Structure 1
């Protein structure tokens, strides 16, 4: 029996079933639920083999069709990278001019077609990691300024970034976002979401922590938002609003760090973005340096959503765009309250729906009032590894109306399953350390219940510099020790 968060006072979920109309594209989401972006890490990465590096596969098709069948009004993909040298992580999917091959497009066409058969809108999150590009991918990535990310919340390190010139902003950033958007439009997607949160490149322009520019892209919040409006206008030049193509953006509502984006600045930036014509704004918060996916104050726990108090203020300033809020929603009472208090129009769901792929259907038909209870609490690392494994498990088999959407997906609340997964996770981390000592980069998904296909989800690379090797191995070892405490 799946264990769920206890809800003492159930409420009517009816309001969550309301349709939402996007102001510019005029597309309609059938309800308020958004499947929020999650990094799948299911693509291969081999810079020497363009045919496979960053290519989507049937794993992605199966996974997203199941979420579409799960009742979401809108389904967003995980990061699709617009530049093969600026990845969030090896394992991302990539769409660029250099890697634009017919067989790669066919997968995206198939994914869009199957998702749309279930009455959902399928929207791609497109992204450029900027200074948050993994060191193994690029030692000198582009950014708004040359402010290096010393380390993130997990102790990983990054290269020294190169500040983009105004010409490079046009050729290396804007044109690449446009190209990726156009490919997705031609493949049948309903729209794109620019990733402007969590410290990625667009967020690096928006935040004073990383934007030290003195030209037209720096200084005031309006200037820092200029790159966003220029990307939008360039996309609309190629894909006019008359096509019905959705363009949205994910923004931080706040950053919890020195010189980080304040809520007041986020309000000003959101106004600029709303005025230019974006269909929706998805609000989140935090960066690699200071994660926001937990409650910062005890007083906010009752509000459930991590960023609701900040989102309420931003939404008051939005005149047209649909607002989604992602982060922390776990119960129907929490979701309903957030909508009723006008803190958000839509509900973004991420981690809870890798096991509960039909969570919206269950909520709207009155079957459940809450999400599955995670045994890992607010531990992002453990939750992330479990979610990645569940996504891989879901992708192994195609959608079938005769089987549960979660067929083959582990129930992490089952004690026996949890014990087995922790053991597999422990062995996985030990393997990372062994590979690092052997001067190999090793990245992948915990090989648990993957039908013998565990090796298909692993990326290895030789030739790491010894200084990088030792740092990475040490970080992996520290994470490994942290995981040890979960062993039964």
Structure 2
């Protein structure tokens, strides 16, 4: 079926005048291609040649906005080991470390922003025994990972984290990035503050929605003091809902989105769910007729936004669904993650008419993050990307992830780990 994709190639203009060349946004993912040491905190989070190569390739792919990430702002608040880190405590220069990656990403016209995050209670006990969170509600085991009972953050520690997020944004700005994104989705620390299920605080950072969201708005205020917002986008990734009893509701999410727009945010990316409750499972029923996971919610939010650009991420696979979503007014931008692991030039090929949909992924949802990480490792190493549309390839990779594969079956050295199983956090 022929699809007119011209609307996908139209530039997006943000409120500060900056322009993305098209509607595509590469959503942040866990790449796990940077340095890590279990004991030496200084040795964590430095970029590598493989990490730079990955973003060089994506930079060639005609993606309107490339989101680097997931980037922790504290060396022990990691979503996972081996991701890039921007931590003000490090003695090494995060700005100089970032510059080559950002330059490679921007070389062909993409805007590049960095996603800044903190794992909070969703930091594996392999990384830290006692994580921190809004309160002491423990995250249940998930996908081979276990989590310690979290310690509630003191108010002075919250103030320090606000400063760390602002430091991260300033580092991105000085390194040449076009913006930053606050990760307030998928159950990480900012999302934990927004959730009544997790946030049981009785101080100024708990209770009402205004109080629960205060940390987010404080971070935004602090970032604005440190960067030139006429040259730097401020974005957020937030849940449409947590899909868990007592978590962030759709009504609360709409309210926060409207307030973020009023606070001057340039870009709001919608997703959903957390380790406790995977949005991708909850949305299956509602997306049988419509491809994207969160498009119904986006349709309710977008009319409330006066200036912020709305991006919807999760489930987009065909040019037709993307065109329908943009032409129908549900979303301004199309967020992609998994398709860009299998086909880093996916956006370029859609725009040129070479393809009309993403390659089929036959990997089970429960181990899809592990499979995606192996694809990213292949891109970074300059090797052939494992084809997950082939069942035999999928089974080989699953064997490697589960520690059952032969040495000859390991397509990417040192990427196998059973702890990847079930870590579903990006579309």
Shorter-chain-normalised TM-score: which range?
A: over 0.9
Q: Secondary structure at the match of 1:93?
A: coil
| Separation of aligned partners in 1, 2:38 and 2:164 | 18
* 1:34 and 2:32 matched: no
User: Is the contact made by 2:41 and 2:75 (CA closer than 8 Å) also made in structure 1?
Assistant: no
Matches within 5 A, 1:154-165: 154=143, 156-165=145-154
Instruction: Pick closer, same or farther for the CA change 1:212–1:420 going to 2, 3 Å.
Output: closer
State the Cα deviation string for residues 168-208 of structure 1 (Å, max 9, x = none).
Answer: 2111x101111111112111111110100000000011111
Instruction: Pick closer, same or farther for the CA change 1:209–1:322 going to 2, 3 Å.
Output: same
Q: 2:177 aligns with which of 185, 189, 198?
A: 189
Matches within 5 A, 1:120-269: 120-152=110-142, 154=143, 156-171=145-160, 173-242=161-230, 244-269=231-256
Q: Secondary structure at the match of 1:72?
A: coil
- Aligned residue pairs: how many? 422
* 1:52 and 2:39 matched: no
Q: In the alignment, which residue of structure 2 is the partner of 1:62?
A: 53
Instruction: Pick closer, same or farther for the CA change 1:89–1:299 going to 2, 3 Å.
Output: closer
| Separation of aligned partners in 1, 2:405 and 2:183 | 29
Q: 2:385 aligns with which of 399, 406, 409?
A: 409
Q: 1:98 aligns with which of 89, 92, 116?
A: 89
Cα offset, 1:166, TM superposition: 2.3
Name the larger-Rg structure: 1
Matches within 5 A, 1:386-405: 386-397=371-382
Cα offset, 1:359, TM superposition: 0.9
Cα offset, 1:258, TM superposition: 0.6
Instruction: Pick closer, same or farther for the CA change 1:165–1:192 going to 2, 3 Å.
Output: same
Instruction: Pick closer, same or farther for the CA change 1:206–1:176 going to 2, 3 Å.
Output: same
User: Is the contact made by 1:221 and 1:268 (CA closer than 8 Å) also made in structure 2?
Assistant: no
Instruction: Pick closer, same or farther for the CA change 1:237–1:385 going to 2, 3 Å.
Output: same
Cα offset, 1:421, TM superposition: 3.1
State the Cα deviation string for residues 356-378 of structure 1 (Å, max 9, x = none).
Answer: 111111111111110010112xx
Cα offset, 1:155, TM superposition: 5.5
The TM-score normalised by the length of structure 2 is 0.93
* 1:22 and 2:14 matched: yes
* 1:354 and 2:330 matched: no
Cα offset, 1:219, TM superposition: 2.3
Q: Secondary structure at the match of 1:283?
A: strand
| Separation of aligned partners in 2, 1:477 and 1:222 | 37
| Separation of aligned partners in 2, 1:477 and 1:305 | 28
Instruction: Pick closer, same or farther for the CA change 1:418–1:255 going to 2, 3 Å.
Output: closer
Q: More displaced, 346-355 or 86-95?
A: 86-95
State the Cα deviation string for residues 258-310 of structure 1 (Å, max 9, x = none).
Answer: 10111111001111111111110000001100111245353422111111111
Instruction: Pick closer, same or farther for the CA change 1:426–1:225 going to 2, 3 Å.
Output: closer
Instruction: Pick closer, same or farther for the CA change 1:227–1:315 going to 2, 3 Å.
Output: same
| Separation of aligned partners in 2, 1:478 and 1:90 | 11
Q: 1:383 aligns with which of 354, 368, 377?
A: 368
Q: In the alignment, which residue of structure 2 is the partner of 1:115?
A: 105
* 1:448 and 2:424 matched: no
Instruction: Pick closer, same or farther for the CA change 1:426–1:108 going to 2, 3 Å.
Output: same
Cα offset, 1:425, TM superposition: 3.6
| Separation of aligned partners in 1, 2:365 and 2:275 | 12
Q: In the alignment, which residue of structure 1 is the partner of 2:425?
A: none
Q: Secondary structure at the match of 1:241?
A: coil
Q: 2:310 aligns with which of 323, 338, 343?
A: 323
Q: Secondary structure at the match of 1:188?
A: coil
Q: In the alignment, which residue of structure 2 is the partner of 1:470?
A: none
* 1:301 and 2:322 matched: no
User: Is the contact made by 1:304 and 1:334 (CA closer than 8 Å) also made in structure 2?
Assistant: yes
User: Is the contact made by 1:250 and 1:283 (CA closer than 8 Å) also made in structure 2?
Assistant: yes
| Separation of aligned partners in 2, 1:106 and 1:449 | 32
Structure 2: runs of 5 or more not aligned: 423-427
Q: Secondary structure at the match of 1:233?
A: helix
- Across the aligned residues of Structure 1 and Structure 2, the Cα RMSD in angstroms comes to 2.4
Q: In the alignment, which residue of structure 2 is the partner of 1:12?
A: 4
Instruction: Pick closer, same or farther for the CA change 1:265–1:101 going to 2, 3 Å.
Output: same
The TM-score normalised by the length of structure 1 is 0.81
